[in-house]
C-alpha cells in the first residue's frame, strides 16, 4: 500500500494498491516517500543524525544494514527499528 494513503474526510480510506508489480531486478530499491506534514516532523527530529526521513523509514523497516549507516545515526536507527517492531506487535496485554 502506498505510504501516501491517508485518512480523508471522516473515514479511514483503505486504497487497494493497483500498481503493476515490477520484477525484482527492476524494483526501485528506495523506500516509498513519506507524505507531508509527517515528513517535516521527521526531518526535524532527525536533525544531526545523518538520516533523512526516507532513510529513517528504511532503517525502521530493517532494510538498511546498520553497518552502512554513519556512527551518529546508530542510536536513532536502533530506536526507529524498535519502534517499528513494537508497532507491528499486537497490542494484547499479557
Partner 1 sequence: MTVEWFDLAGRMHAAATGRVTARLAHAPAPRPDWPVAVSARRARQGVTVTAATREHPPRTAIDGDGLALLHDLGVRITVGGPRTLVVADTHTLPALVALAHTTPRAGGRADTAAAIAFWADRADFPGTGVHLHLPATCQTRWVTGEPPTAERDIATWRAWLGVTDDTPAGLVTLADHVTAGPRLPTSAAVVRDDARAWHRARDDHANGANWAVADTRARAALGLRARCDTADLHQSGLLDDPLARRREVHTGTIVTGTAHPHTGRRAGLTVTCDRMDARLRAGNHVHGWAGEPDDGQSGWNATVADVQARGGALTVTLTAPRLDPRAHLPTAGERVTLRPAPTDPGMQNRGRGRYGTLYGRRGSWLSTGGRPTTTRRDVPLDVAIAAAEE
63: closest CA among 47, 43, 77? 77
**Dihedral sign (CA 70, 64, 34, 19):** positive
User: Least separation, in Å, of the C-beta of 1 and partner 1?
Assistant: 7
Residue 49 and residue 72 in contact, taking contact as beta carbons nearer than 8 Å: yes
User: Least separation, in Å, of the C-beta of 13 and partner 1?
Assistant: 7
Residue with cell 524494483: 27
User: Least separation, in Å, of the C-beta of 21 and partner 1?
Assistant: 18
Residue numbers of the site for partner 1 (CB under 8 A)?
1, 3, 5-15, 32, 34-35, 37-38, 40-42, 45-46, 49, 56-57, 60, 75-76, 78-84, 86-89, 91-94
Amino acid at each position: 500500500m502506498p505510504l501516501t494513503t491517508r485518512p480523508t474526510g471522516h473515514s479511514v480510506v483503505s486504497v487497494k494498491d493497483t500498481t503493476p508489480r515490477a520484477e525484482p531486478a527492476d524494483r526501485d530499491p528506495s523506500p516509498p516517500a513519506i507524505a507531508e506534514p509527517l515528513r517535516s516532523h521527521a526531518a526535524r527530529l532527525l536533525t544531526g543524525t545523518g538520516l533523512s526521513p526516507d532513510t529513517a523509514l528504511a532503517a525502521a523497516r530493517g532494510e538498511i544494514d546498520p553497518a552502512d549507516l554513519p556512527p551518529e545515526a546508530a542510536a536513532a536507527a536502533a530506536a526507529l527499528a524498535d519502534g517499528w517492531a513494537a508497532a507491528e506487535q499486537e497490542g494484547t496485554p499479557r
